[in-house]
Amino acid sequence: MVFTSYSKMTAHFSIANFAHPDGYDAGSLVTKSATSLGANVDIITSSPSEIFSSFNHGIINWKGILQNKQWLINSATTVLDGESPYYAWAASMIIGELEGVKTVMVVDIPKEIDRLSEMWGAIIDRIRQIHILFITTQALKSISELEDISIDSLLSEIRFRGLIPFVCNYDEDNKHARVEHSRGSIQVHTAEQITYSTWLANFLHRLPLTSLDNAGIEHAASCFENF
Amino acid sequence: MKECHFGGLSGESYMSLKLGPAGVPLSCKGRTIVEGMDDITVLGLDAMEVQTVRTVQPHHFDQYWQAGILSWKSDFEMNMHGPYYAELLGSKRERNRTLSKMEASMQAGKLVNARHLTYHVGPYGDFDPGPKANEELVNIFSGVVDRVRSIWGDEKEEEEYSAFPWVHEAEPSLVGIETSGRQELWGTVEEVLEVCNHVEGTVPVLNMAHIHARGHGRMRTSEDYAELFDQVRETYGGSKFYCHFAGVEHRMGNALHYTQIKKSDLKFEPFAEFLAEEGDWMDITIISDSPLLEHDAMYMLQHYDKARQRLLEIRARDERRLRLVRQGGSDSEELEGKEQEITAIKEVEQEAKQKTNNATSETKVVKTKIKKESNMISFEESNDEDDIF
């Protein structure tokens, strides 16, 4: 297991990220953006001598890692990477729940698109442990077809049925963010074109500092003076 | 099965309580239902609710049969949860889509020997809350119950299913209608009881988190649970209950988010207290659908055991008192009189003790003052509270 720690500045913005060693899964991208924002980040993955699909996940001390962390960022595609990543992914969310860490699940489409159903099924199984469910625009289209629910109502339907505190998406082409949350729904346009990972990292950075009503969440979703 | 005897002195009446998680335990190393059942049994739990909340996967059917066999041969109670996306009061298209998903869970329910199939109804749609919506649902659920019975009791299939005897020998699954946790969703306790009352083969699924949230935090004391179960008993009858329990965050009568039980204002202790004290007539299954599935199921079991232990202690004390009364040849009034006398004597003694204590502390104060004034070395025991030795 490799444990990488980045610590820059803001004490209120700390992240644990269970990542693929190649660092290109959706959660890793968000973590990289968060690091540039000054987040205190711990990245957990397999060591170079191990194969990710069968790495020794038993030695991860999730309790120690997640203590005093604010966010746990996981990628949905990790469940398809093999048994070891799946167990580590699942364990991280259980310990996260026990430790009071909020889980952020970043849902992107898998490389093997025919395994989307398997991936989405695993997310639904754990839906009650997820606090922020971010779905990329591509994944939104595919899940909408899978669930036979229109794209427009998919986010609210998922939030409504799963009782997830936040379900969100950022459309990079249209610079448009949508956040369905426990107290309502907001849509904002960002002034600049940014990547979804940048938007989500910024949202995670701002969210703990705002009130959890529509105005506060809108502020968190649209405030980009750091860029 | 835990058969907990609460008959007090006679020990005749007892309750049946089954507890388990909603799905394969989170700590289970395997991912199949059978492996999940093994883990649940090891944890001392005895029920499970299989989640088919999205779709029933055909490749799961093999493990469903295995789970059915295990459940049939043991005393393990299997149950099944239907789809999340239910719109039974929606348009014809929406209703049919929901029914087709429900059909898959009915088939799977037969394979796993499910005792209950739990379904949501979904939003009110074009209906207003009231008799029309309920009538519509009575019709729909009558059809669902008929369908379940036709799936289970097909005589032509008897040979084909000879290895799976429950298909012919066991009662078909009961169709559970779940209470909802939001104002815009059909499913108050009253609505659920109303529909269950009119459709034989249905059973109310009391989701305590939903009832608590929708009732603006109404489930606070054991009396609240007693009221709820009295309402169910009076309206619906019977002694079999199927419940869900989880922590919940709620606001304005709507469930916002499920939480672990410890972090919610919905506590399990009052429910445990009610079950221990007044649940001797009940046959109840409680499914933990908290984010910490089996951990919270264990937590519930522990609290139930504690409540039962407390009650047993109280009963044992009462029993001892009665025995003493009988042995002494005095009646209970005499004993009560004697107890009052003893209490009065104790009170007098306590008062006297307090007075003595006050007097001693006064003397101590005087002594300390004298010591300070005399400024001489003393070998008397010090009463310095800071002295850790």
Strands (E), A95-206: 102-107, 132-135, 166-171, 176-181, 184-189
User: Which backbone phi and psi does A168 adopt, to 5 degrees?
Assistant: -145, 165
Strands (E), chain B: 2-5, 14-21, 47-51, 77-81, 114-119, 174-178, 202-207, 240-245, 247-251, 254-259, 283-288
Which run of H or E residues covers position A16? strand A14-18
Burial of B155 (0-12, 13-18, 19+ CB in 10 A): exposed
Q: How far apart are CA B77 and CA B46, in angstroms?
A: 6
**Which residues in chain A touch residue B247, judged by CB atoms under 8 angstroms apart?**
none
Per the CB < 8 Å rule, is A121 touching B27? Answer: no
Minimum distance, in Å, between the CA of residue A58 and any CA atom of chain B: 11
Interface test with A, best of B99, B257, B262 (most A CBs within 10 A): B257
pLDDT-flagged residues of chain A (< 50): 11, 226-227
What pLDDT is attached to residue B370?
A: 42
User: CATH homologous superfamily of domain A2-222?
Assistant: Ribokinase (3.40.1190.20)
Minimum distance, in Å, between the CA of residue B38 and any CA atom of chain A: 18
Interface test with B, best of A92, A97, A127 (most B CBs within 10 A): A97
Q: What is the pLDDT along chain B (389 residues), one digit of tens a residue?
A: 444 444 443 444 567 899 999 988 888 776 688 889 999 999 999 999 998 755 545 566 778 889 999 999 998 999 999 887 789 999 999 999 899 989 988 988 999 999 999 999 999 999 999 999 999 999 999 999 999 999 887 777 767 777 788 888 889 999 999 999 999 999 999 999 999 999 999 999 999 999 999 999 999 999 999 999 999 999 998 888 999 999 999 999 999 999 999 999 999 999 999 999 999 889 999 999 999 999 999 999 999 999 999 999 998 988 888 888 888 776 667 767 777 777 788 788 888 877 776 665 554 444 444 444 444 444 333 443 333 33
Question: Whole-model pTM?
Answer: 0.81
Per the CB < 8 Å rule, is A124 touching B84? Answer: yes
Minimum distance, in Å, between the CA of residue B387 and any CA atom of chain A: 37
Residue type, B324: L
Write the residue in A124, A149, A183 that is nearest to B53 by C-beta.
Answer: A124
Per the CB < 8 Å rule, is B258 touching A128? Answer: yes
Minimum distance, in Å, between the CA of residue B133 and any CA atom of chain A: 21
The percentage of chain A sitting over the pLDDT mark of 90, rounded to a whole number, equals 68
Two tokens, residue B345? 């004597």
Sheet with B283-288, edge to edge strand ranges: B2-5, B14-21, B283-288, B240-245, B202-207, B174-178, B114-119, B77-81, B47-51
Mutual angle of helices B222-235 and B189-198, in 10-degree steps: 30
Question: Rounded to whole angstroms, what are the CA distances from B113 to A106, A176, B116, B160, B283?
Answer: 37, 48, 9, 16, 18
Per the CB < 8 Å rule, is A164 touching B27? Answer: no
Q: Is the dihedral of CA A170, A176, A179, A180 positive or negative?
A: negative
Long-range CB contacts for residues B306-311, cutoff 8 Å, separation at least 24: B306/B272, B307/B269, B307/B272, B307/B273, B307/B275, B307/B276, B307/B277, B308/B4, B308/B6, B308/B276, B310/B276, B311/B6, B311/B276, B311/B277
Kindly give, in sequence order, each residue whose CB lies less than 8 Å from that of residue B192, ignoring residues fewer than 6 positions away. B177, B178, B179, B204, B205
- Is B63:B36 a contact under the CB 8 Å cutoff? no
Question: What residues of B are in the A interface, CB distance below 8 Å?
Answer: 23, 26-27, 29, 51, 53-55, 57, 84-85, 97, 181, 246, 249, 251, 255-258, 260, 263, 289-292, 295
**Which residues in chain A touch residue B100, judged by CB atoms under 8 angstroms apart?**
none
3-state secondary structure of B237: coil
Write the residue in A90, A129, A163 that is nearest to B256 by C-beta.
Answer: A163
Q: How far apart are CA B30 and CA B26, in angstroms?
A: 10
Mutual angle of helices A196-206 and A214-222, in 10-degree steps: 130
pLDDT in tens, A17-73: 999 999 999 999 999 999 998 999 999 999 999 999 999 988 899 999 999 899 999
Q: How far apart are CA A33 and CA A189, in angstroms?
A: 19
Question: Rounded to whole angstroms, what are the CA distances from A113 to A82, A119, A150?
Answer: 16, 10, 19
What pLDDT is attached to residue B383?
A: 41
Neighbours of B292 (CB within 10 A): 26
Write the residue in A94, A100, A148 that is nearest to B97 by C-beta.
Answer: A148
**Which residues in chain A touch residue B51, judged by CB atoms under 8 angstroms apart?**
125
Q: How far apart are CA A65 and CA B26, in angstroms?
A: 19
Residue of B nearest to A89 (CA): B26
Burial of B366 (0-12, 13-18, 19+ CB in 10 A): exposed
Q: How far apart are CA B206 and CA A66, in angstroms?
A: 35
| DSSP code of residue B111 | H
**Which residues in chain A touch residue B255, judged by CB atoms under 8 angstroms apart?**
163
**Which residues in chain B touch residue A87, judged by CB atoms under 8 angstroms apart?**
29
Question: Rounded to whole angstroms, what are the CA distances from B132 to A6, B125, B127, B136?
Answer: 60, 12, 7, 6
Minimum distance, in Å, between the CA of residue B256 and any CA atom of chain A: 6
